[in-house]
Structure 1
Amino acid sequence: MVTAKQVFDQAMVLIDEVLENGDIAPDQPAYYKTKALSILTTLQTELLPLSINPEIITEFEQPLLVTDRVALEVLPYGLAAHLLITDDITTAAFFNDRYDELKKRKQSAIIPIVDKYNVTSGMRG
């Protein structure tokens, strides 16, 4: 399962807070880390199916409830957008647009439609 730290690290790469060796820059703004867990809690809740109860993310090593695909593909863009909103509105808007686009593409379970009101019984195919 993907952890909050893995998503945070990906967001740091997106917003270019990474050193040449791949480590997260130690001089990144401290408030990025301070705000990240609360933002991830909100974003994860938005992306969870209604059948799964959300939970508050309280530590970076906590596994996320969304699928690994959503955690790795969608959440980093949403987190990057929210972290940059006060520092760089143009880049934040780009990341938010990408987040919205990916959020719409997330896979949903396909379930059969049940005709509770017998609407289709009189239809001919």
Structure 2
Amino acid sequence: MITAKRVYDQALVLIDEVLETGAIVPDQPEYYEAKALSILTTLQTELLPLSVEPEIIKEMDQPLLVSDRVALTVLPYGLAAHLFISEDLTISSFFNDRYEELKKRKPTEIIPIVDKYNVTSGMRG
């Protein structure tokens, strides 16, 4: 399972908070991590199927409920967009556009439609 920390680290790489060695910049703004948990809670809830109850992300080592594919490909862009919004609106918009594009590609869950009002019974024949 992918953790909030893994997505957070990927988002920091996207916004160039990384050293030449690939390590995360140690003196990156402290508020990034504080904001990341709330932002990830919102983004994850947005990406979860309606059949899955959302969960508040309280710590960085908490596993995410979305699939690993969504956690690794979609969430980092959404998180980067939100973290960078006060730094550079143009770059933040780029990340948000990418997030929206990837969000549309995520696999969807097919669930049967329940005819609660008996609408289709008159259509059979």
The verdict on a shared fold, with TM-score over 0.5 as the criterion, is yes
Corresponding residue SS for 1:118: helix
Q: Find out whether 1:11 has 2:11 as its counterpart.
A: yes
Distance 1:54 1:114 in 2: 23
- The answer to whether the Cα contact below 8 Å between 2:18 and 2:25 also exists between their aligned partners in 1 is yes
Please list the CA deviations of residues 3-27 of structure 1 after superposition, one character each: whole Å capped at 9, or x if unmatched: 0000000000000000111110012
Offset at 1:121? Answer: 2.2
- Aligned counterparts of 1:19 and 1:76: Cα–Cα separation in 2: 18
What is the rounded CA distance, in whole Å, between the counterparts of 1:56 and 1:34 in structure 2? 14
Ranges in structure 2 where 5+ consecutive residues have no aligned partner: none
Query: Quick check: 1:55 aligned with 2:58?
Result: no
TM-score, normalised via structure 2 length: 0.91
TM-score by length of 1: 0.91
Distance 2:51 2:63 in 1: 18
- How far apart are the structure 1 equivalents of 2:37 and 2:123? 48
Is the 8 Å Cα contact of residues 49 and 109 (structure 2) preserved in structure 1? no
> 1:118 matched to which residue of 2?
121
Percent identity among equivalent residues?
Answer: 72
Change (3 A) 1:120 1:25: same
- Give runs of ≥4 in structure 1 deviating > 6 Å: none
| Residues 79/45 of structure 1: CA separation in 2 closer, same or farther (3 Å cut) | same
* CA offset digits 1:20-76 (Å, max 9, x no partner): 111100121111111000100000011011111111100000000000010001000
In structure 1, distance between residues paired with 2:106 and 2:56? 22
Query: Counterparts in 2 of 1:15-94, with a 5 A limit?
Result: 15-94=15-94
1:33 to 1:114, Cα distance in 2 relative to 1, 3 A: closer
Map residues 95-110 of structure 1 onto 2, 5 A cutoff. Answer: 95-110=95-110
Give the distance between the partners of 1:119 and 1:86, measured in 2 at CA.
Answer: 56
